[in-house]
Amino acid sequence: MTRIVGAMGERLAVAVLASGRGSNLRAILDAARGDFPARVVLVVSDRDHALALQHAERAGVRAVCLDPKGFPDRAAFDAALGDLVDAAGARLVCLAGYMRLLGRAFVRRFEGRIMNIHPALLPAFPGLHAQRQALDYGVKIAGATVHFVDEGVDTGPIILQSSVPVLDDDTEEALSNRILVEEHRLYPEAIRLFALARLTIDGRRVRIARAS
């Protein structure tokens, strides 16, 4: 079955979930300052020290720390998170270094409207420490993936990918930095395509309509 996702019209309202440094959030905020069809209306972190919250505040975007310890279980936490996203009017949820797994109810509630960025060429090296996994495996090409989120870990339909070489003397840090440059380019581009309603999920494939 083919579903059209995204929405034409005014600038798409985006919520970003981030647990840490927030460099992808910054790339999105930077893009949104220009001629861009989306704007960030909410940043949520599960960690109160997350740099991402500071980036949001500096950009004048509502920043909320939602501490999992304040909730009896994941379902309750996810429900509160979903309510925050809806109350902010966000139509797209972007995970950017968000370290908590989202439960089935959250994924279903925002089906086809959650994206994630992963520092590997999926389906290779899902989960934690993808860059280290790539080095340990000995691949010659690594990269970044933006994908829609389904109920698995890094398994949803792929929107965009970009590759980088793995060099003989690469450290995990050097490779991560090379991949990060691609991440910062890919994520705003994926959001832009979604906001312009150019993405269609067709089973496992995401088709990208030509610009009209």
Q: Of 30-38, 75-83, 112-120, 155-163, which part binds ligand GRF (CB under 6 A)?
A: 112-120
Least distance from C-beta 167 to ligand GRF, angstroms?
A: 18
Task: Please state the length of the chain.
Answer: 212
The answer to whether 15 contacts ligand GRF (rule: CB under 6 A) is: no
Measured distance CA(133)–CA(166) in Å, rounded: 12
Least distance from C-beta 202 to ligand GRF, angstroms?
A: 25
Helix axes 23-33, 51-58, angle to 10 degrees: 10
CA torsion 37→41→44→50, rounded to 10°? 80
The answer to whether 188 contacts ligand GRF (rule: CB under 6 A) is: no
The answer to whether 142 contacts ligand GRF (rule: CB under 6 A) is: no
Amino acid identity at 122: L
The answer to whether 21 contacts ligand GRF (rule: CB under 6 A) is: yes
Q: How far is CA 101 from CA 27, 67, 150, in A?
A: 23, 14, 11
The residue among 161 and 200 lying less far from ligand GRF, judged by its C-beta, is 161
Q: Binding pattern to ligand GRF, positions 66-95, x when CB under 6 A? A: ------------------------------
Specify whether the CB–CB gap between 89 and 119 falls below 8 A: no
The answer to whether 22 contacts ligand GRF (rule: CB under 6 A) is: yes
